[in-house]
Amino acid sequence: MAITLTNPAGLPEIDVYRQVSVATGSKLVFVAGQVAWGADGVTVGEGDLAAQVEQCYVNVATALAGVGASFDDVAKLNVHVVDWTPDKMPLLLEGISRASARLGATPVPPATLLGVAALDVPEHLVEVEVTAVID
């Protein structure tokens, strides 16, 4: 495995991600922001943030698998949520939990959560992008 995740002493431990990732692999993988499109290009979970988060993570996993990687190889994750407010956190976490159960993995690399005004189309509520490292 090319990624080691850690919470260095002196930084808070946060359940849903680690503060630092150390990469030792030789290839960088940049996955474009994934929205809640199914393989057919139709939005999954219109109006349902948790369902869209789940689909985004599944799409990221599919993209990673296509190049021989998995969430274990993710060094950094960015989540963009439309009209973010802290009261949406339970729905975000529900979607991540459902994706984790579905994928058999718990993605906890360092992450950045950003509130945005809009995404590519009005029905998309969230977009997830990752950078991975593989040997």
What integer is the mean pLDDT of 105-130?
95
The pLDDT tens digits for 26-75 are 999 999 999 999 999 999 999 999 999 999 999 999 999 999 999 999 99
pLDDT, residue 74, reads 94
Question: Which residues, other chains included, contact 30 with Cβ-Cβ below 8 Å and sequence gap of 6+?
Answer: 129, 131
Report the SS3 class of residue 58.
Answer: helix
The pLDDT tens digits for 4-35 are 999 899 998 888 889 999 999 899 999 999 99
| Rounded-to-integer distance, Cα 43 and Cα 105, Å | 23
pLDDT, residue 14, reads 84
3-state secondary structure 118-134: CCCCCCCCEEEEEEEEE
* Residues found in the chain: 135
Which of the four pLDDT bands, split at 50, 70 and 90, describes residue 113? very high
More confident site: 91 or 15? 91
Q: Is the pLDDT of residue 87 over 90?
A: yes
Q: Is the pLDDT of residue 1 over 80?
A: no
Strands (E), the chain: 3-6, 20-23, 27-34, 74-82, 111-116, 126-134
> Inter-axis angle of helices 89-103 and 49-65, to 10 degrees?
40
Residue 105 exposure: Cα atoms within 13 Å on the Cβ side: 17
